[in-house]
Amino acid sequence: MSHREDAARAAAERWKDRERARYELRALVLELLQANKSMVEISEITGIKRTTLYYFVWGRNGKLGNAA
């Protein structure tokens, strides 16, 4: 098998298991935040919009939770 076929299979598995991918992304974003990266910098690194990253990490209610 070629490297591209292996990469395609790996990408398909990640697509199938979105929940695991979301959990992994959340963990990595939290690690980067602890390493003093801003959400803007993380957005540039990942290529994912900042607001989407906020949603992945803190959910629909955002960082403030139920404070509203």
* pLDDT tens-place string over residues 34-49: 999 999 999 999 888 9
Structural domains in the chain (count) = 1
**What average pLDDT score do residues 16-44 get?**
88
43: CB partners within 8 A, 6+ apart: 49, 50, 53
Cα distances (angstroms) measured from residue 5 to each of 11, 12, 50, 66: 10, 10, 31, 45
Does residue 19 fall inside a structural domain?
Answer: yes
Does residue 64 fall inside a structural domain?
Answer: no
Mean pLDDT taken over the chain: 82
Does residue 65 fall inside a structural domain?
Answer: no
Between 16 and 33, the higher pLDDT residue = 33
Token digits of residue 48: 């994912």
Report yes or no: 19 and 27 within 8 Å, Cβ to Cβ: no
Q: What is the domain range of residue 40?
A: 3-58
